């Protein structure tokens, strides 16, 4: 066996072309890798007066380099995705108390509670279908029964898994957002604010029907709901009213639309407050 040669980096490919423009045929020689020892390397006859000769890399070094590059690329993709999820979570406006809520942490000991849990989990797990049809959930019942917990569990699942845009807010905060455009120095219109509430992939509206409000406020609220319905945008409504009282507040036509593309769930059990789950 001839004495192994040192490894040299490949030069610019143009330097390797023959006079006729064709690349030279390589030969195989024994070469020495400082890390992996002797290996068979491709050696290209040098068509120009360039030293040292052109020689291929150690196959094991090249394989390790490719693995390292792939790992770095995956790490960059993960870092970019994690950063985007963080921005989406921050922008969603989910209350701090509910940022860690998930389906596993929801205590369901009765059949109605299990039904509510199953429906909300299925809503999140079939998110692609919900987006396509503009699916909805209406969660009604007394305070402390877990409605907000499950609504936020939906958001906390679809944001990292689907990079969905979510907006959480109370009716009062939504109305303030719209009315803020009425200021003389506001550069935005009422329709701009309504569009803000119509554009997220999922809108979670809490405290629906807490206060009746003026006819104008009701009209604004219904306009947001209608915009989202027309655009097939999923919506979750949370109300401490019963299903019948909520229908009286929203009107039969609005509730009929939510029944058409989703379910109305009655949380008609005792409050969880004072136990491990509160919402």
Confidence band for 51, pLDDT divided at 50, 70 and 90: low
Closest-CA residue to 226 (of 206, 210, 262, 250):
250
Reply yes or no on domain 93-267 having CATH 3.40.50.300.
yes
pLDDT for residue 12 is more than 50: no
Flag whether pLDDT at 6 surpasses 60. no
The answer to whether residues 98 and 148 touch, using CB atoms and an 8 Å cutoff, is yes
Averaged confidence pLDDT in the chain:
85
Residue with tokens 């009929």, as numbered in its chain: 256
- Strand-pair category, 235-239 with 202-206: parallel
Residue among 137, 206, 201, 198 nearest 168 (CA): 206
Question: Is residue 16's pLDDT more than 90?
Answer: no
Q: What is the mean pLDDT of residues 203-219?
A: 84
For 92-109, give the DSSP string. Answer: HT--GGGTT--STT----
pLDDT at 53: 58
Domain-wise residue ranges, the chain: 5-57, 93-267
Mean pLDDT is lowest, of 54-68, 124-138, 142-156, 224-238, for 54-68
Q: In the block, which residue shows the tokens 């040098």?
A: 46
């Amino acid at each position: 066996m001839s004495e192994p040669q040192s490894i040299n980096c490949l030069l610019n490919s143009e330097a390797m072309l023959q006079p006729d423009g064709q690349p030279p045929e390589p030969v195989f020689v024994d070469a020495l890798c400082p890390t992996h020892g002797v290996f068979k390397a491709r050696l290209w006859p040098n068509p120009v007066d360039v030293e040292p000769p052109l020689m291929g890399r150690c196959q094991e070094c090249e394989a390790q380099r490719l693995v390292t590059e792939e790992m770095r690329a995956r790490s960059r993709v993960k870092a970019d995705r994690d950063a985007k999820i963080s921005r989406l979570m921050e922008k969603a406006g989910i209350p701090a108390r509910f940022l860690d809520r998930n389906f596993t942490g929801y205590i369901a000991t009765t059949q109605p509670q299990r039904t509510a849990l199953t429906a909300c989990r299925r809503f999140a797990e079939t998110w692609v279908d919900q987006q396509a049809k503009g699916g909805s959930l209406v969660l009604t019942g007394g305070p402390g029964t877990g409605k907000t917990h499950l609504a936020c569990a939906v958001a906390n699942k679809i944001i990292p898994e689907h990079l969905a845009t979510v907006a959480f807010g109370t009716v009062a905060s939504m109305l303030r957002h719209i009315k803020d455009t009425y200021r003389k120095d506001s550069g935005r219109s009422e329709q701009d604010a309504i569009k803000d509430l119509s554009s997220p992939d999922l809108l979670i509206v809490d405290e629906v029907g807490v206060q009746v409000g003026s006819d104008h406020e009701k009209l604004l609220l219904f306009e947001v709901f209608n915009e989202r319905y027309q655009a097939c945008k999923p919506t979750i409504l949370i109300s401490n009213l019963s299903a019948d009282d909520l229908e009286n507040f929203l009107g039969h036509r609005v509730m009929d639309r939510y029944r058409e593309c989703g379910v109305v769930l009655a949380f008609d059990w005792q409050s969880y407050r004072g136990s491990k789950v509160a919402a």
